[in-house]
Amino acid sequence: MDGEAVITLDQSDQALTVPLEAVYEDDQKYVWRKVDNQVLRQNITTGIESDTDIEVLSGLSLNDQIIIKRK
pLDDT at residue 64, rounded to an integer = 93
- How far, in Å, CA of 53 to CA of 16, rounded? 10
Looking at per-residue pLDDT, the higher value among 14 and 17 belongs to 17
List the one residue out of 18, 13, 15 whose CA is nearest residue 29: 18
Name the residue ranges covered by the structural domains of the chain.
Answer: 17-67
Tens of pLDDT, residue by residue over 24-68, are 999 999 999 999 999 999 999 999 999 999 999 999 998 999 998
Q: What is the CATH number of domain 17-67?
A: 2.40.420.20
A 10 A CB-CB count for 56 gives 24
Whole-structure pTM value = 0.77
Length, in residues, of the chain: 71
